[in-house]
């Protein structure tokens, strides 16, 4: 096939957002009689799942303190549930296990989950939490826990397999996916700011609409579109804060304990829900008993045959650098800078041992040879920006919340078809100027 010189819809990035938008848009064009997948071209500089979507832990949950995020996630869970096989989705559920400082906020999440019909169970009080947890795992021993939110829906999906599932669906609708094509810039209209063509490593591609799902590379595209590197934000204090950096990088720390995934089952032999624990109980080293921290800490984990062990992570750290100077490439396991080191391994394995006796003394089984972790690019309030810039550029910037958000592409496709989405409305760029910021939780993670 020849290299295309034009397309109606040019989608940049073959990750979850680019592929989900492509697939859903193709379906909608066909169903409405207004076109087909042949009107859509996806380009990616590396491969399908070559970015964050291909290394994500794959956790799918609803547990968010922000009502708008929760409603959006409930929509995405429906999309995951629509074809678990193609999306390699495991609906094992998800548990948020928390200390007293988070009790009230998690209680609010539970109440609002009930209100939107998202099935979950809420346990309160240290004794009842311990009883509930030992009912699931007889070796449960995490301390400082006073609430447990058990989401019966959600779970996890296998990262690369799910992206190929989406790509297959898009291609079956006639979408063309071109890998090895790097977008280097844009051509703009002479009478408007709209993009008229992608400038790529293989030639220019004229287009009517651009959709950017560039994950950790979003700040690069922001610059290519001449959008502001710093913005003014009306804060929660009602004051205007000028010169706030638009993008900040965080490094996510994840890894795999190379045990048989079968060793992490519930008492009745089932695959357990994804476990997320936050606690302010002191954390001691599982190697030498020394104190690691007495501040709030958190981890998540699940048995995973894809990763070949018990896989998960802990809180990310902020990359304290000008975003333009952060070395995003080479990405993920190929990065010399943003992969986990011995510190993470020691801390995360000690966290696992703090939670369940079965993980005590297992640090030597950690999969050192498999590099893991990677960068995420975050907005000023750490929540997504889904909005149109320069008249025809739809930016799907998920602020690293995104693998689970497989439904966002469906909503973006609806908007491209001309139907505004109330679920996406709270994520417009002008919320910063208007001071319509999302509430902040007490969790130690920037994405809760
Ligand atoms: C270690 C880690 C674990 C995570 N775990 C989870 C999780 O458990 N659950 C969850 O919900 N989220 C998780 N996330 C976040 C999630 O992975 C991302 O938010 C989401 O995958 C972003 O999807 P995307 O489609 O925007 O971008 P990506 O999947 O990163 O895709 C962007 C694509 O754009 C391409 N690209 C970049 N620049 C160019 C260019 N110039 N020209 C052409 N193509 C280009 C890249 O090659 C890449 O394939 C995790 C992130 C990381 C880093």
Which atom of ligand 1 sits closest to the CA of residue 374? 53
More confident residue, 311 or 439: 311
SS3 state at 258: coil
pLDDT at 1: 73
Mutate to test the pocket of ligand 1, among 11, 315, 403, 412 (most ligand atoms within 8 A of CB): 403
> Measured from the CB, is residue 398 less than 6 Å from ligand 1?
yes
Using the predicted structure, report yes or no on whether residue 272 has a pLDDT greater than 80: yes
Using the predicted structure, report yes or no on whether residue 321 has a pLDDT greater than 90: yes
- Ligand 1 center–CA 183 separation, angstroms: 16
- Ligand 1 center–CA 157 separation, angstroms: 15
Using the predicted structure, report yes or no on whether residue 395 has a pLDDT greater than 80: yes
| β-bridge pairing 230-234 and 283-284 | unpaired
**Which spans in 314-361 are helix H?**
342-355
Name the pTM for this structure: 0.96
Average pLDDT of the chain to the nearest whole number? 96
DSSP state of 140: B
Are 191 and 200 spatial neighbours (Cβ–Cβ below 8 Å)? no
Query: In whole angstroms, what is the distance from residue 53 CA to residue 15 CA?
Result: 5
Closest CA to 165 of 357, 326, 406: 406
- Ligand 1 center–CA 330 separation, angstroms: 13
pLDDT at 268: 97
Are 97 and 148 spatial neighbours (Cβ–Cβ below 8 Å)? yes
Give the contacts of 340 (CB within 8 A, at least 6 positions apart).
253, 254, 255, 371, 372, 373
Query: In whole angstroms, what is the distance from residue 63 CA to residue 58 CA?
Result: 15
Residues 432-444, mean pLDDT to the nearest whole number:
87
> Measured from the CB, is residue 373 less than 6 Å from ligand 1?
yes
What pLDDT, in 10s, does the model give residues 51-101?
999 999 999 999 888 889 999 999 999 999 999 999 999 999 999 999 999
Using the predicted structure, report yes or no on whether residue 212 has a pLDDT greater than 80: yes
- Go through 172-181 and write b for each residue having 16 or more CB atoms within 10 A of its CB, e for each that does not: ebebbbbeeb
Which atom of ligand 1 sits closest to the CA of residue 156? 8
Helix or strand run (H / E) with residue 74: helix 67-82
Tell me phi and psi for residue 134, to 5 degrees: -70, -20
Q: Which two tokens stand for residue 165?
A: 């599932």
């Amino acid at each position: 096939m020849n290299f295309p010189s034009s397309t109606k819809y040019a989608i940049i990035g073959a990750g979850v957002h680019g592929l989900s938008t492509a697939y859903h848009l193709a379906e909608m064009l066909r169903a409405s009689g207004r076109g087909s997948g042949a009107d859509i071209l996806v380009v990616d500089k590396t491969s399908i799942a070559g970015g964050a979507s291909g290394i994500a832990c794959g956790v799918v949950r609803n547990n968010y303190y922000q009502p708008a995020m929760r409603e959006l996630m409930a929509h995405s869970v429906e999309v995951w549930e629509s074809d678990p096989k193609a999306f390699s989705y495991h609906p094992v559920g998800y548990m948020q296990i928390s200390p007293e400082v988070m009790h009230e906020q998690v209680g609010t999440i539970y109440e609002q989950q009930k209100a939107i019909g998202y099935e979950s169970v809420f346990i309160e009080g240290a004794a009842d939490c311990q009883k509930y947890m030992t009912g699931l795992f007889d070796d449960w021993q995490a301390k400082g826990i006073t609430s447990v939110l058990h989401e019966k829906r959600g779970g996890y999906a296998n990262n690369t397999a799910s992206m190929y599932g989406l790509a297959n669906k898009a291609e079956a609708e006639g979408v063309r996916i071109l890998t090895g094509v790097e977008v280097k810039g844009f051509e703009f209209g002479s009478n408007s700011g709209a993009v008229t063509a992608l400038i790529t490593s293989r030639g220019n591609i004229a287009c009517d609409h651009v959709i950017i799902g560039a994950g950790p590379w979003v700040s690069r595209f922001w610059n290519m579109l001449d959008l502001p590197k710093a913005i003014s934000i009306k804060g929660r204090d009602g004051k205007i804060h000028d010169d706030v950096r638009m993008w900040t990088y965080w490094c996510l720390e994840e890894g795999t304990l190379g045990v048989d995934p079968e060793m992490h089952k519930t008492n009745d032999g089932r695959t357990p829900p994804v476990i997320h624990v936050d606690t302010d109980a002191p954390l001691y080293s599982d190697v030498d008993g020394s104190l690691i921290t007495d501040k709030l800490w958190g981890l998540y984990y699940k048995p995973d045959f894809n990763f070949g062990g018990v896989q998960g992570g802990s809180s990310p750290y902020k990359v304290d650098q000008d975003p333009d100077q952060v070395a995003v490439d080479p990405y993920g396991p190929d990065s010399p800078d943003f992969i986990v080191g011995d510190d993470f391994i020691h801390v995360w394995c000690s966290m696992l041992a703090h939670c369940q006796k079965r993980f005590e003394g297992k640090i030597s089984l950690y999969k050192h040879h498999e590099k893991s972790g990677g960068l995420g690019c975050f907005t000023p309030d750490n929540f997504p920006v889904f909005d149109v810039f320069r008249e025809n550029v739809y930016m799907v910037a998920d602020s690293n919340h995104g693998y689970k958000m497989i439904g966002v592409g469906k909503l973006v496709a609806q908007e491209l078809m001309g139907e505004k989405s109330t679920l996406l409305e709270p994520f417009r760029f002008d919320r910063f100027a208007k001071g319509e910021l999302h509430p902040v939780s007490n969790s130690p993670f920037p994405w809760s």
